[in-house]
Chain A
């Protein structure tokens, strides 16, 4: 764990002004009360580009306290450039302690993964979301998709998934795989691999989703039913690998393929670097 010395002068704690934080905080309470529903919020420009996690950052900035320990990951790793950059931002503007250890963190901001270690009660997992609307690629108009959610008209989504099956023999969605939250809202889990979808179901921590450019936030409370959409004859299934992680030997984690030379050599290693490392340390 590391603590930075001082926060940047001239800016409020955690960058956002208090009125903006209150607006987002009120929105998050509604989001929690209506699991999976996308609450519109007055997203602000952040000093990082849209699409680089501004939604997640605004949520983190609104919930973060001075005694919190923060972890930031991208692709499951703490040392990817975007994660490094966002972690450095909060060290600078909030002076909070940061960690790479999943268990030590109070707030975890993530892009594209859910840590392998299950969330514990009281932990907050903040997702960066590019396109919050799961129906967007079927129906581009916001006016229309809002109505579809209101009327619970999700047939088109099943048609789309079934078209995949007709064409490929499988549902061809491998990430950002749509879920139904508490039996009501079809929701985009952010572009996590579908491997992570089961971790959304009855999780013990609170999961918050922020889409800065699209100005939407939503939530999945702890202990909430989250089902990945599927069909009786084509049940939802997650990715599997033939070999274990080459570093820690894990057989139940999401593996990244790493190209090791220009002759087709490759290896598979855990995408969750903290999980992988802690397993190696356990053995040692």
Chain B
């Protein structure tokens, strides 16, 4: 079981970063990461999530891993490759690696920033089993001409949590969405509504 680093860290991390910047700037669009290492078998996260961690984390970023995702030695590998300390509680985290399930019921409390420093907030790195367009979630706001649609599979808890961002703006949580090699993002500036007509489709999707 091996977690590999980026082949050419300077250039590979720049490329992944520009993809991250692009999806953050245009919420609900997708990119596929390529040429980045595949997590080992038994890993609960995909290549896009691993590449994002390698690109953004270092000694200065506290990372919180949802317990169910910390498999195949992810925690040790992350600290080994990036030097990022793992924090014990979600509210200390600069980055939190989670699944929608992590956010259900007794949802952990992440840092949402303050009115004066809204940037001092946790960025969620969400691991999804489905990430596609044409879903029931309608996104609008900065970065979106009109409306974009998003399908996050069984991500109800995630989207509900992100939908509360608007009421607390400029405080809030920004989410980087990952599924296999696919990347997308929903920053706190995005307005999220659920379309009733598509609700049926969503429930029927596997």
Contacts and interface: CB of A to CB of B under 8 A. Distances in A.
| Chains A and B touch each other in the complex, with CB atoms below 8 Å apart | yes
- Report, as a range, how many residues of chain B touch the other chain: 35 or more
A39 B25 contact: no
Contact of B18 (A18, A39, A63): A63
B181 to A, nearest CB: 19
A5 interface: no
A151 B114 CA distance: 11
A125 to B, nearest CB: 12
Interface stretch (B71-79, B100-108, B140-148, B152-160): B140-148
Given A34-B119, A37-B119, A221 B11 contact: no
A221 B123 contact: no
A158 interface: no
A107 B14 CA distance: 14
A122 B26 CA distance: 10
Interface in B120-167: 121, 123, 141-145
Identify whether the interface residues of A are mostly helix, strand, loop, or mixed. Answer: mixed
Contacts of A39: 119
Contacts of A182: 141-142, 189
Given A30-B174, A223-B143, A25 B56 contact: yes
A66 to B, nearest CB: 6
A276 to B, nearest CB: 30
A190 to B, nearest CB: 19
B13 interface: yes
B23 to A, nearest CB: 10
Interface string A18-62: 110111011111111111010110000000000000000000000
A85 interface: no
A31 B55 CA distance: 18
Interface in B1-29: 9-11, 13-15, 17-18, 20-22, 24-26
B142 A29 contact: no
Contact of A18 (B13, B116, B174): B13
Interface in B26-77: 26, 55-61
Given A22-B56, A146-B116, A223-B143, A64 B14 contact: yes
Given A30-B119, A34-B170, A206-B22, 7 more contacts: A22-B58, A26-B94, A39-B119, A149-B116, A150-B116, A184-B169, A224-B142
